[in-house]
Homo-oligomer: A and B are copies of this chain.
Amino acid sequence: MYWEREFETLERNKLRSLQLERLKRTVKQAIQSPFYKELYQRKGISADRLRHVEAIRELPFTTKQDLREHFPYGFLSLPKRDIIRLHSSSGTTGNPTVIFHNRHDISSWANLMARSLYCAGVRDTDVFQNICGYGLFTGGLGFQYGIERLGCLSIPAGAGNSLRQIKLMQDYGTTAIHAIPSYLGRLYEVFQAEGLDPRKDTDLRLFVIGAEPHTEEQRQRIEDMFGVKAYNSFGLSEMNGPGVAFECTEQAGLHIWEDAFLIEIIDPETLEPVPDGEFGELVMTTLDREAMPLIRYRTRDITRIIPGVCACGRTHARLDRITGRSDDMFIVKGCNVFPMQIEGVLLKVPEVGSDYLITLERINGVDEMIVEVEVKKDWFNGDIARLDRLSKFITHQIRDEVLTKPIVRLVEPGSIPKSAGKAVRVLDKRVFDSVKL
């Protein structure tokens, strides 16, 4: 039933004690980093002051802006030679976000991933195909190490090439898959085009989907198309990547591993905790990371803790779906995109005017990012080839920056509607579960 019964079913009061002990250790470790050392000395903060877990509220928040400003080593709590891996965000505009890991961190992450997968019903007899970009993107190596730790037969398939993905499934009898939900619709179309029915022509039984917002309806459609159970996964690169919170087979919220992460839900305006069970911004503290602890990190993800106890017996709290962001980041095809990144690319192209609009839309079952760009007047003189080259160039530049390919549309100056106040830069026409804050 459990990967680590002793941790997963720990009584809440014992879990709280474990958290306190690990929080103290984490604060001590964090003070080794330049950022927290300066901050905590200035504010007179020490680990000894923490008598109970709630005392964390006296510590200051950490933001993505802090990470960027103290790039690259401001948060490093160990000597550089102890670090064995980094994952960093994409892009050449501004400072990226980087997370460092020592051997303990990589092992602890692999274990959390294995626990997560086991929790969703994956077993060592499964053949697990990881359809996901590898490299600096955390979904590749994150899942890979977890799948191997669990003992499945892992197929490091990587992203794309649906025909080849299907051949791998059929050749090796794949039973479980990790992929972003919007890809699975396209994959199903390729099955159909080949005259195949995944329900009959594969051994698929279980999907892990995540890294991209989707609705309960989409999940059910995926389950129906493929004849599988699909489980939601939640992670963010600042908290390693995948393996932060995972659905159990009850499919009633995502267990967030509280022995590894201390969670708070706050009002993003007042920064005060919201009442139990209400929606707010998720704030996280690492409890088992040595190279780069983060304390009270503002994830900007809006969610809530589902009240009550899970039928599976795990005592760790359950996150509800992410229903939005408290900043302007959006996720498309598994990639995190800030409008500022797109703007940074466009500013470097002299032919481009001052206005642009990003529209997120589901086209043929796939989420697409459409970037409308105003180009200078004299470009609309009928030279289609020249416009085509410019459009391809911008497409390529944006793709290099955010790692997903946009649909670029060049438009005449003045075609993008001006709004009265702050410019609207992103229109999200996709439909997700949404909750009023």
**A100 to B, closest residue via Cβ:** B153
CB contacts (< 8 Å) of A171 on chain B: these are: 71-72, 88, 96, 98
**Complex CA–CA separation, A88 to B90 (angstroms):** 28
* A99-139 vs B, Cβ < 8 Å mask (1 yes, 0 no): 01001001000000000000000001100000001111000
Cβ contact of A136, chosen from B136, B147, B157, cutoff 8 A: B157
Q: Is there contact, CB below 8 Å, between A167 and B86?
A: no
Q: Is A26's beta carbon under 8 Å from chain B?
A: no
Residue among A71, A133, A172 with max Cβ neighbours from chain B (10 Å): A172
Q: Is A422's beta carbon under 8 Å from chain B?
A: no
Q: Is A39's beta carbon under 8 Å from chain B?
A: no
Q: Is there contact, CB below 8 Å, between A84 and B141?
A: no
Q: Is there contact, CB below 8 Å, between A154 and B400?
A: no
Given A81-B124, A92-B167 in contact, is the A158-B134 Cβ separation under 8 Å? yes
**Complex CA–CA separation, A88 to B129 (angstroms):** 13
Given A156-B136, A172-B72 in contact, is the A161-B400 Cβ separation under 8 Å? yes
Q: Is there contact, CB below 8 Å, between A153 and B92?
A: no
Q: Is A85's beta carbon under 8 Å from chain B?
A: yes
Q: Is there contact, CB below 8 Å, between B106 and A153?
A: no
**A131 to B, closest residue via Cβ:** B135
Q: Is there contact, CB below 8 Å, between A154 and B85?
A: yes
**A106 to B, closest residue via Cβ:** B148
Q: Is there contact, CB below 8 Å, between A151 and B84?
A: yes
Shortest Cβ distance from residue A97 to the other chain B in the assembled complex, whole angstroms = 12
Shortest Cβ distance from residue A388 to the other chain B in the assembled complex, whole angstroms = 13
Shortest Cβ distance from residue A363 to the other chain B in the assembled complex, whole angstroms = 20
Given A171-B96, A172-B72 in contact, is the A85-B156 Cβ separation under 8 Å? yes
Q: Is there contact, CB below 8 Å, between A85 and B148?
A: yes
Copies of this chain in the oligomer: 2
Cβ contact of A92, chosen from B103, B148, B157, B164, cutoff 8 A: B164
**Complex CA–CA separation, A158 to B135 (angstroms):** 5
Given A134-B134, A135-B134, A141-B144 in contact, is the A92-B154 Cβ separation under 8 Å? no
Q: Is there contact, CB below 8 Å, between A141 and B163?
A: no
Q: Is there contact, CB below 8 Å, between A400 and B163?
A: yes
Q: Is there contact, CB below 8 Å, between A134 and B124?
A: no
Q: Is A426's beta carbon under 8 Å from chain B?
A: no
CB contacts (< 8 Å) of A168 on chain B: these are: 88
Given A141-B144, A171-B96, A400-B164 in contact, is the A84-B156 Cβ separation under 8 Å? no
Q: Is A80's beta carbon under 8 Å from chain B?
A: yes
Shortest Cβ distance from residue A21 to the other chain B in the assembled complex, whole angstroms = 28
Q: Is there contact, CB below 8 Å, between B85 and A153?
A: yes
**Complex CA–CA separation, A148 to B125 (angstroms):** 27
**Complex CA–CA separation, A97 to B168 (angstroms):** 12
Given A106-B148, A135-B158, A148-B106 in contact, is the A153-B84 Cβ separation under 8 Å? yes
CB contacts (< 8 Å) of A87 on chain B: these are: 156
CB contacts (< 8 Å) of A134 on chain B: these are: 134-135, 140-141, 156, 158
Q: Is A50's beta carbon under 8 Å from chain B?
A: no
Cβ contact of A135, chosen from B83, B148, B156, cutoff 8 A: B156
Q: Is A155's beta carbon under 8 Å from chain B?
A: yes
Q: Is there contact, CB below 8 Å, between A81 and B125?
A: yes
Q: Is A263's beta carbon under 8 Å from chain B?
A: no
Shortest Cβ distance from residue A182 to the other chain B in the assembled complex, whole angstroms = 20
Q: Is A152's beta carbon under 8 Å from chain B?
A: yes
**Complex CA–CA separation, A307 to B100 (angstroms):** 45
**A80 to B, closest residue via Cβ:** B153
**Complex CA–CA separation, A190 to B136 (angstroms):** 21
18 A-B residue pairings within 8 Å (CB atoms): A72-B172, A81-B124, A84-B151, A84-B152, A84-B153, A85-B154, A85-B155, A86-B154, A86-B172, A87-B156, A92-B164, A98-B172, A100-B153, A103-B148, A103-B151, A134-B135, A134-B140, A135-B156
Q: Given A83-B153, A84-B152, output 6 extra A-B contacts at Cβ < 8 Å.
A: A84-B151, A85-B154, A85-B155, A88-B171, A135-B157, A135-B158
